[in-house]
Structure 1
């Protein structure tokens, strides 16, 4: 029987790559996103819902829809996130801090809260939380983002302990620098803040890994499919970086 998989922020970027990987593996895919246009552009075979993961009513309504349509659930990919501001801590506005934590950390919490009863009732399945290598190291000029991503690691490890007795696993995936529009925006803002060019920032990010490279969304998708498979049946509570091996989280080009 094919897996039933939910992916938040699944209409574009890393989320879409995760959805594509599961679909290629034969799973039933249901993506949630705040971008209605991006949802419309998703493949017809995918279920699609416009959901704001930072709003509990929106999340609750989505899970009610999922339960009515599917009745069970195998995999939750709590993937939604925003970059947040790029600034020194004294220049970060409280509203920007709260918005970053609301989408990244509270979004993962809310989706896990509503997925847990379905997974526990089934007695199997897994939660996959997309954190970041910013959840493993300090990250200058990105305090809200790093705080949220560290919090997601703690959430994932705790979920593994709570859900494990019910046969449900939870793991945290920590992408490094993923090629795409989001990291381009981050690099442009960081370049402006540090008086550097975008290419200098890019080179610094890449040289901060032992493999000297950014990663692609499909690399995250492949890891998600593996962690949700029987091949990873006893892998739980783990924080797994897909990043080309970060050796210096704040390299200077």
Structure 2
């Protein structure tokens, strides 16, 4: 079991899809950072808002996490590899391993670019509560409380965590679609369609809308945003486990 987990974890990261998605997200966010003032004249928070808004990343964010490893199940199923794995371990163990490896690769794909772009934001922006022309940007938000009581690192850390959890959600959504409909294109496209549908249906309901949960600012509570994202991860994991057990029972 341990050997298979390490092998599967290695495969989830060392593949073209992971590096393609990682490069794409990094390029989108970092290039947007160079379209805002990085001369120390604007607050870090202003630059952060501009980067994620100007990049156009958020509406398409669900596309990338599944590129790494979510669709690998389709090839395994169609080639008969999955039957061999079921002969070596119970579907529950296989499901747990695959859920962890897919989630880690999808989450890391977003976490690394977030760390890079947020480092740029805090290196070239004015730290602390916005003043001057940016005064009032944080008015009425919990960010003022976070900065005053915990410091800038708290916001930095939670932005990365929320990005990581978001990547986990949509990588697992891709895996769930792959398990139920083992077609590579479905596994890659369906999560994006679901993401857009949830955005439209849930609208301004920031407590459930995954787009707002990734930012955390709309809910005005980073830990709560992270908790709700974890619930989505559990729901996606349940769909994966249910689908794999169904495949096992149907032979």
More helix by share: 2
- Bigger Rg, structure 1 or 2: 2
**What's the TM-score bracket when you normalise by the shorter of the two chains?**
0.3 to 0.5
Normalised to the residue count of structure 1, the TM-score between the two structures is 0.35
The higher relative CO (CA closer than 8 Å, separation ≥ 6) is in: 2
More strand by share: 1
